[in-house]
Amino acid sequence: MKLLKYTNMGIHKLYLIGYNNVCKPFHNEIEKGNFNMANIQRGLEGVLAAETKVSSIIDSQLTYAGYDIDDLANHAEFEEVVFLLWHYRLPNKEELSELKSKLFEYMTLNPRVYNHFQEYATDDVHPMTALRTSVSYIAHFDEHAEDEDESQTMERAIRIQAKIASLATAFARVREGKEPVKPSEDLNYAGNFLYMLRGELPTDIEVEAFNKALVLHADHEFNASTFTARCAVSSLSDMYSGIVAAVGSLKGPLHGGANERVMSMLSEVKSVDEVDSYIDKKIQNKEKIMGFGHRVYKDGDPRAKFLKEMSKKITSETGQSELFDISVKIADKMKQEKNLIANVDFYSATVYHSLNIDHDLFTPIFAVSRTSGWIAHILEQYQDNRIMRPRAQYIGETNRTYLPIEER
């Protein structure tokens, strides 16, 4: 089979053309010159692999099921966004109440899961490694894990979304020798995450900041982890397998680990006066500066402005305004020197730090939010499935023959 990239009226689609004239109309188009053999698209950049109703990035504007991210970030609770991504519409009052109730019900983990964390060599295990393992482990406690009935699939989605918050927070506490904290029925999803993590009720501005972060990270079209999830379930594997695969993909520093590395950088800069020399040295040494630029957004990440605003608010409330000032100075410097604009990872780092969250938990938080989007894409893949099976261009040795081991 040959991999072709169809370019017509600015629309790009990926087609697999069989040797046996399976797609004669397309062969006719080739003869007319409307098709060109595509070069290998490294990282699949610019390639459309599927159609989706979950989210879009058009002209540097992110939307969830047709709603601008600006609108949702300013008005929506994370639970509303979860429902929106899974059903392509916002919930009514009763539907939202039912979803919140079920999320609260499923947040409490089986006692064996809490004990499971104690078996880790916790000083050495990264929280994303723990999350990857524990997401797989909780499938053992779901008696309907392999049941593909539609009602069970949606119930499983809620179960996973609820429990992933508890997995991240419980591990964080267990590794510090603290008892896990059960959720409170009086708090929403964002509030419960902070409560289960820290063991104290969050302030209103903390809940607002964290809710906004969850909304902004919920989905992002066909990023690496989302594509991984869809690939995994395209074989009709179960939802837990898809989420485990996605967590593994998000763990990499080029995807989910960026905000953790942003905070490491900010920790090295002690004052606003040190910014210029610090960044100049990084640029001179050709070191990568995390939190800037984006493969898709050329005019700036539309999510960044909201977290910049929350970063200013929460650093002020927690007496860490200089951290925000340093961030702004670095962002201005990078725009001036490299014409790169801060992305969502850059300001989310200061928000999470100001919420007194350990830096190595930043990526698990990303996973907690993005699980909503992963599940949405998994549900969509199930609805219109074709197993993912691209091709590769072989560049290795040819015409070789086996030699007995004595002759090698």
d(C-alpha 286, C-alpha 279), whole Å:
10
Q: Residue with structure tokens 């601008």?
A: 68
142 is catalytic: no
**Candidate list 219, 238, 301, 345, residue with the active-site label:** 345
d(C-alpha 82, C-alpha 356), whole Å:
25
CB contact at 8 A, 10 and 59? no
d(C-alpha 98, C-alpha 299), whole Å:
39
Helix (H, G, I), strand (E, B) or coil at 8: strand
* Residue type at 109 in one-letter notation: L
**Candidate list 294, 301, 353, 377, residue with the active-site label:** 294
* Residue type at 331 in one-letter notation: A
Give the length of the chain. 408
384 is catalytic: no
Helix (H, G, I), strand (E, B) or coil at 397: coil
Q: How far is CA 157 from the centre of its chain?
A: 16
The DSSP secondary structure of 240-290, one letter per residue, reads: HHHHHHHHHHHTSTTTTTHHHHHHHHHHH--SGGGHHHHHHHHHHTT---T
Helix (H, G, I), strand (E, B) or coil at 324: helix
Q: 40: number of CA atoms within 13 Å, CB side?
A: 8
**Any idea which residues carry the catalytic annotation?**
294, 345
